[in-house]
Amino acid sequence: MTGYKLYFADLKAGQVGFYGSLEEYGHPAIRDLRLKIEDRKISEMEAIVLRSTARGTFSDIQALKVDPIMTQHLAPSEKRSRDELITASDAYFEGMEKGADKVTPFDPDCKRIENGVVTANDPGNAKQISRINTPFDEPFSFQICELFKVRNGKLLRIEALVAPVPYGMPTGWGGNPSHKQ
């Protein structure tokens, strides 16, 4: 393992996770791992590994650093209910699908980092949203893991791991997402 490590837990849903960088056979990689625990046993496991050599992707794994905002505790007045947190994260995906950010509660300081590359609200980039053109020579699907830091009901930070997979590959989970359970 290398120095980039984020741990998270959703006690109500019985889920824990890890998001971090590692070295695999001398090459850097990013790993996401989510476990669901029921009756003190692992009932679900989901993992994504993005290798620095992955075809059809971009990354700057060496640039990954834990943003202190992701681990800072919020003041009680900045916290929101579980349902409000789910609503904010769902609005993000709804905005992505509609191509409109008006439905998404972004904090003015929101920054999105995908595979170690700042893709939104980059102080070093004049554009609010950076688009990275990757030369795809065939259709792709993606597995995506995104972590959100929500403050005052608004998305403050987004850490994304986006890995290409064969076109049309199902997630393996089927049905509707279970995050509201």
Count how many Cα atoms sit within 13 Å of the Cα of residue 14 in the half-sphere of its side chain.
Answer: 12
Domain definitions of the chain by residue range? 5-165
Bridge-based pairing of strands 106-114 and 117-120 is antiparallel
User: Are residues 45 and 35 in contact, defined by beta-carbon separation less than 8 angstroms?
Assistant: yes
Amino acid present at 91: A
| 87: pLDDT strictly greater than 90 | yes
Q: Measuring CA to CA, how many Å separate 179 from each of 22, 82, 86, 112, 113?
A: 27, 10, 8, 21, 22
Q: Point out which residues pair with 28 in neighbouring strands.
A: 23
Confidence of residue 2 (pLDDT cuts 50, 70, 90): low
Q: Measuring CA to CA, how many Å separate 34 from each of 40, 46, 64, 100, 139?
A: 15, 5, 20, 29, 27
Confidence of residue 133 (pLDDT cuts 50, 70, 90): very low
pLDDT in tens, 37-82: 999 999 999 888 888 666 656 788 888 888 899 999 999 999 999 9
pTM: 0.81
User: Are residues 118 and 59 in contact, defined by beta-carbon separation less than 8 angstroms?
Assistant: no
Where are any strands of DSSP class E within 27-67? 27-38, 41-51
Q: What is the predicted pLDDT for the residue at 53?
A: 63
- Count Cβ atoms below 10 Å from residue 1 Cβ, excluding itself: 10
Cβ partners under 8 Å of residue 173, min gap 6: 46
Confidence of residue 124 (pLDDT cuts 50, 70, 90): low
* Cα 94 to the center of its chain, rounded Å: 15
* Cα 44 to the center of its chain, rounded Å: 18
